[in-house]
Structure 1
Amino acid sequence: MTIKRNLLAAALASTGLCMAFGVSAQSAPATATQQTGATSTSTSTTTTSNDNSATTSNQKSQQQLAKNLATVTVSGFAGSVEKSIDYQRYADTIQNVVTAADIGGLPDQSIADALTRLPGVSAERVSGSASQINCRGMSGNFIETTLDGREQPSTSGSNYIQFDQYPSELISQATVYKTSEASLIEGGVGCTIALQTANPLDNAKDQSLNVDARGSYDGQAHDVIGADPEGYRLSVAYQGKFLDNTLGVGLGFAQLYQPYVAEQYDGLGGQVTSVNGKQAYVPEGTEVIQEGGEERRTGYLSTIVWRPNDHWQITDDTYYSKFDNTKYQYGYVSQAYDNGGVAITNPGFDAYNGVTSGTITSAALPANAQFSNATLSGNDTTDSNVFSTGLNAKWNDGPWHLDMDASLSHSSSNDYNLWAEAEPFNGLSNPSTATLMNQSATFVNNGERIGQFSVGNPGIYTNPNDMAVTSINVSPYIYRENYKGFRTSLQYDFDNDAIFSDLQAGVYINNQNYTADRTSWVYGNNNYTTGDASGGQPPLPLSSGDTSRVCWQGSFGGMPCFLKINTPLVLSAYGLKADPQLDLNPNGQAWTGVQSGTVNEKVRDMFLQADIDTTLWGHELTGNMGVRVAYTQQSSSGLEEVPTGTGVPITDGFGYTSTSYVPLNLGMSYTKWLPSTNLIYHWTDNDQTRFSISKDLSRPTLNYMLAGAGSYESGSGPSATFNVWGGYSPLLRPMTAMSYDLNYEHYFEDSSGLFTAGVFVKHLNTYIQEVSYNQFNFAAAGITVPTNPATGQPYLNGSYASAYNAPGTMLRGFETSFQKTHFLPGFWSNFGFGANYAFTQSPFGTSNPDGSTTVLSAFPGLSRNVASAQIFYDDGRFSGNITDTYRSKWVSDSQLAVNAEFVYYDSENEIDLQTAYKLSKNVSVLFQILNLNNMPSRTYFGVPSNTGTIQYFGRTFYAGVNLSL
Structure 2
Amino acid sequence: MIKKQFNPFLAMLSSLTLLAGSQMVYAQQDAVVADELLEEVVVKGFRVSVASSVEEKRDADTIVEAISADELGILPDTSIGDALARLPGVTLLRAGGQAGKINIRGLTGDFVQTTLNGREQTATSGSRQVEFDQYPSDLISGAKVYKSPKASLIEGGVAGTVEMQTASPLDNAEAHKFNVNLRGSYNDRADEAVGADDYGYRFSAAYQGKFADDTIGVALGYSRMTAPYVNTQFAGFAYTNSWDVNNDGQDNSVSEGFEMQQRGGEEIRDGYAATIQWEPSENFTLKGDVFYTTFDSEAFARGFRVKTLANGELTNLAIQPNGAITGATITPWSDNDYFAVQTTNDDESRYRESISGGINAEWRDGPWTVALDISRSEADQTFTNSVTWSMPFEDMSAATLMPERDLSVSYLLHGQNVPDISYSNASDYTNLNKMGLAKVGVYPYENTDVLDAFKADIQYDISDSSLFSSFEFGVRYSERTYSADRSVFEYGHDFGLNSSATPDQPALALTDNTASVVNFASEFANFPSFLMVDAMAVLAEHGITPTPIKNWNNNWTLIQSGEVYEDVLAGYIQANINTELMGKTLTGNVGVRIVETDQSSSGLQQLQGAELGSGPDIVDGNGVVSNDYLPVVRGKKFTDYLPSINLNYHLTENDYLRFGAAKVMGRVPLQKLKSGGGSWASDGKFNMWGNTSPFLDPFYATQYDLSYEHYFDDTSGNVFAALFYKDIESFIEDSTIYNYPFADNGILVPTDPTTGEAFANGEYQTAVNNDKGGYIRGIELGYNQAFDFLPGALSGLGFTGSYSYTESEVENIISSGAVGWDATLPGLAPNVFTGTLFYDYEGFSTRLSVNYRDAFVNEEVMAENPQNVYYAEETILNYQASYSFDSGLSVNFQISNLTDEPSLTYFGESAQTGNVNYYGRQIFAGVNYSF
**What range describes the TM-score normalised by the shorter chain of this pair?**
over 0.9
Which of 232, 235, 254 is the aligned partner of 1:282? 254
Query: 1:497 and 1:751 mapped to 2: Cα distance?
Result: 35
CA positional deviation for 1:428: 2.3
The amino acid across from 2:522 in the alignment is: G
1:622 aligns with 2:587: yes
Q: Which moved more, 1:542-551 or 1:446-455?
A: 446-455
Helix, strand or coil at the partner of 1:102: helix
1:832 aligns with 2:812: no
Helix, strand or coil at the partner of 2:73: helix
CA positional deviation for 1:792: 11
Which of 326, 332, 355 is the aligned partner of 2:325? 355
Which of 554, 561, 566 is the aligned partner of 1:601? 566
Conservation of the 8 A alpha-carbon contact between 1:641 and 1:661: yes
Q: TM-score, normalised by structure 1?
A: 0.89
1:901 aligns with 2:873: no
Conservation of the 8 A alpha-carbon contact between 2:394 and 2:401: no
Could you say which residue in structure 2 is the equivalent of 1:22? none
Helix, strand or coil at the partner of 2:138: helix
Which aligned pairs between 1:667-706 and structure 2 lie closer than 5 A?
Answer: 667-706=635-674
Could you say which residue in structure 1 is the equivalent of 2:475? 507
CA positional deviation for 1:942: 2.1
Conservation of the 8 A alpha-carbon contact between 1:525 and 1:532: no
Could you say which residue in structure 1 is the equivalent of 2:394? 426
Which of 917, 924, 946 is the aligned partner of 2:912? 946
1:728 aligns with 2:705: no
Helix, strand or coil at the partner of 1:269: coil
Helix, strand or coil at the partner of 1:295: strand
Q: Which moved more, 1:502-511 or 1:742-751?
A: 742-751
Query: 1:431 and 1:479 mapped to 2: Cα distance?
Result: 44
Query: 1:70 and 1:154 mapped to 2: Cα distance?
Result: 44
Could you say which residue in structure 2 is the equivalent of 1:337? 309
CA positional deviation for 1:202: 1.1
Query: 2:38 and 2:515 mapped to 1: Cα distance?
Result: 62
Could you say which residue in structure 1 is the equivalent of 2:183? 214
1:662 aligns with 2:662: no
Q: 1:422 to 1:825 in 2, by over 3 A?
A: same
Q: Which moved more, 1:685-694 or 1:98-107?
A: 98-107
The amino acid across from 1:346 in the alignment is: N
The amino acid across from 1:696 in the alignment is: V
Per-residue CA deviation, residues 1-40 of structure 1 (Å, 9 max, x unaligned), is xxxxxxxxxxxxxxxxxxxxxxxxxxxxxxxxxxxxxxxx
Conservation of the 8 A alpha-carbon contact between 1:158 and 1:702: yes
Could you say which residue in structure 2 is the equivalent of 1:410? 378
1:544 aligns with 2:509: no
Query: 2:430 and 2:751 mapped to 1: Cα distance?
Result: 49
Q: TM-score, normalised by structure 2?
A: 0.93
1:885 aligns with 2:851: yes
Query: 1:373 and 1:435 mapped to 2: Cα distance?
Result: 10
Conservation of the 8 A alpha-carbon contact between 2:20 and 2:220: no
Query: 1:525 and 1:396 mapped to 2: Cα distance?
Result: 69
Query: 2:122 and 2:235 mapped to 1: Cα distance?
Result: 32
Helix, strand or coil at the partner of 1:763: strand
1:491 aligns with 2:463: no
Query: 2:128 and 2:480 mapped to 1: Cα distance?
Result: 12
CA positional deviation for 1:794: 9.5
Q: 1:361 to 1:469 in 2, by over 3 A?
A: same
Conservation of the 8 A alpha-carbon contact between 1:851 and 1:942: no
Which of 872, 875, 882 is the aligned partner of 1:916? 882
Which of 547, 550, 559 is the aligned partner of 1:582? 550
Q: 1:778 to 1:448 in 2, by over 3 A?
A: farther
Per-residue CA deviation, residues 34-92 of structure 1 (Å, 9 max, x unaligned), is xxxxxxxxxxxxxxx9999xxxxxxxxxxx99978994532321111101101100100
CA positional deviation for 1:773: 3.9
The amino acid across from 1:917 in the alignment is: Y
The amino acid across from 1:330 in the alignment is: R
CA positional deviation for 1:359: 1.4
Helix, strand or coil at the partner of 1:669: strand
Conservation of the 8 A alpha-carbon contact between 1:788 and 1:795: no
Q: Alpha carbon RMSD of aligned pairs, Å? A: 2.3
Count of aligned positions: 894
CA positional deviation for 1:761: 0.5
Could you say which residue in structure 2 is the equivalent of 1:642? 607
1:137 aligns with 2:106: yes
Structure 1: where are the runs of 5+ without partners? 1-48, 53-63
Helix, strand or coil at the partner of 1:227: coil
Helix, strand or coil at the partner of 1:78: helix
CA positional deviation for 1:369: 4.7
Could you say which residue in structure 1 is the equivalent of 2:282? 310
Query: 2:752 and 2:315 mapped to 1: Cα distance?
Result: 43
Which of 706, 728, 735 is the aligned partner of 1:742? 706
Query: 1:295 and 1:415 mapped to 2: Cα distance?
Result: 14
Q: 1:222 to 1:153 in 2, by over 3 A?
A: same
Query: 1:435 and 1:934 mapped to 2: Cα distance?
Result: 40
Helix, strand or coil at the partner of 2:824: coil
Q: 1:528 to 1:202 in 2, by over 3 A?
A: same
CA positional deviation for 1:460: 1.1
Which of 295, 307, 316 is the aligned partner of 1:323? 295
Could you say which residue in structure 2 is the equivalent of 1:270? 239
Per-residue CA deviation, residues 285-306 of structure 1 (Å, 9 max, x unaligned), is 1200000000000000011001
Query: 2:643 and 2:868 mapped to 1: Cα distance?
Result: 35
Structure 2: where are the runs of 5+ without partners? 1-17, 22-32
Conservation of the 8 A alpha-carbon contact between 1:269 and 1:897: no
Query: 2:900 and 2:841 mapped to 1: Cα distance?
Result: 30
1:187 aligns with 2:156: yes
Query: 1:533 and 1:625 mapped to 2: Cα distance?
Result: 65
1:632 aligns with 2:597: yes
CA positional deviation for 1:453: 1.3
Query: 2:35 and 2:51 mapped to 1: Cα distance?
Result: 13
Which of 935, 945, 955 is the aligned partner of 2:921? 955
Could you say which residue in structure 1 is the equivalent of 2:718? 754
Q: 1:451 to 1:204 in 2, by over 3 A?
A: same
Query: 2:714 and 2:132 mapped to 1: Cα distance?
Result: 33
Helix, strand or coil at the partner of 2:281: coil
Which of 756, 763, 784 is the aligned partner of 1:819? 784
Could you say which residue in structure 1 is the equivalent of 2:765? 801
Q: 1:711 to 1:72 in 2, by over 3 A?
A: farther
Which of 121, 125, 140 is the aligned partner of 1:156? 125
The amino acid across from 1:643 in the alignment is: Q
Conservation of the 8 A alpha-carbon contact between 2:401 and 2:507: no
Conservation of the 8 A alpha-carbon contact between 2:34 and 2:40: no
Q: 1:554 to 1:244 in 2, by over 3 A?
A: same
Q: 1:431 to 1:78 in 2, by over 3 A?
A: farther
The amino acid across from 2:152 in the alignment is: S
1:852 aligns with 2:818: yes
Q: 1:794 to 1:508 in 2, by over 3 A?
A: closer
CA positional deviation for 1:724: 2.5
Per-residue CA deviation, residues 365-416 of structure 1 (Å, 9 max, x unaligned), is 1424510111111001100011011001111112111111100121100001
Query: 2:217 and 2:73 mapped to 1: Cα distance?
Result: 20
CA positional deviation for 1:94: 0.2
Query: 1:51 and 1:255 mapped to 2: Cα distance?
Result: 14
Q: 1:654 to 1:734 in 2, by over 3 A?
A: same
